[in-house]
Structure 1
Amino acid sequence: MSEGAQPQVPPHHDPACWGCGDNPFGIHLRQPESEGLTEYESYLEFDERHQAAPGLVHGGLVAAALDEACGLLASWYRFPTVTGRLFVHFRRPVPINTELLVQSRVEDERSRRIHIAGEIVDGDDILAQARGAFVHVPLEHFLGTPEGQAAAEQWRRRLAAGEGGEKP
């Protein structure tokens, strides 16, 4: 992949995702570079749409960004996965309009569970940390809603056409 190029949203992921898709209110995290990686990082910047107190990001969105960074890694490590649990330690206020780095790494795996840790940092300052367990599930897990059933047909077409993220 050329420098600065972004992998496309993979064929098995929703392009409107708040974390990594084209959602106008999202944080637009980059896709992992290949399947099977054990570490991930991406830059992000929250803005006024994500604000709680003046100049500060809402804590729920900080947790959601950590969930997304850890979940992206989990899904690219072993597809598909969902969040089983997530513990967040808010260490410092997270500012809006500041380029931040979100990182995650696989710490362990047992059976269907993948244990992942992550953090949001500003330079050398750790602003928030997370530890989570992500669970490998069958694809049918996502088909229980009308939206999931409609998306399944789109996923099938995209997978059959070979569209989406770059292959490892």
Structure 2
Amino acid sequence: MTTYSDRDAIGLLVSRFFRSLDQRHERPLDAEWVRAFATDDDVRSETPVGSTEGAGPLLRHTTEALDRFARTQHLTSDLLIDVEPGAATATASWNALMTHVHLDSTLGDRGPDADPLFTVGALYRAELLRTPAGWRFRRVGIDVLWTRGLPPVLPVASGQAKSAAA
């Protein structure tokens, strides 16, 4: 039987979370996915393309953001965790390099010289809660530090389009 320290368990949660995003074509995101990574109704996320509160909105927002791309690859490093032994809460931060491969439709709209990649360097911040099922994200925020390439064009309610740095 393998036992994990709190830091190990939180590190595994971060790694499994990002791997699940990149493997969503093999295992689609659903309510079970949210329960594996986030607290229930009080989970909050803040991303460059919007904020959410609650498990359902988090699932919809994440799915919509990822569906704008054919594939993604998320690399994380420098995970820093602050947790006291036996504590119910923890904080963590890490660097992320996120590479997004544009959909063929996006590339077709942009023309033959379009860059197929949109890359983002970011700092993630998270608050975590110890639950009966293990550590889960309660708050996640992304601070974009730099981008390369063009983000997808997003529709907005007024009929205008805006670019998103996801």
Superposition TM-score, scaled by structure 1 size:
0.29
Question: What TM-score do the two structures reach when normalised by structure 2?
Answer: 0.29
By relative contact order (CA 8 Å, sep 6+), the higher-ranking structure is 1
Higher relative strand content:
2
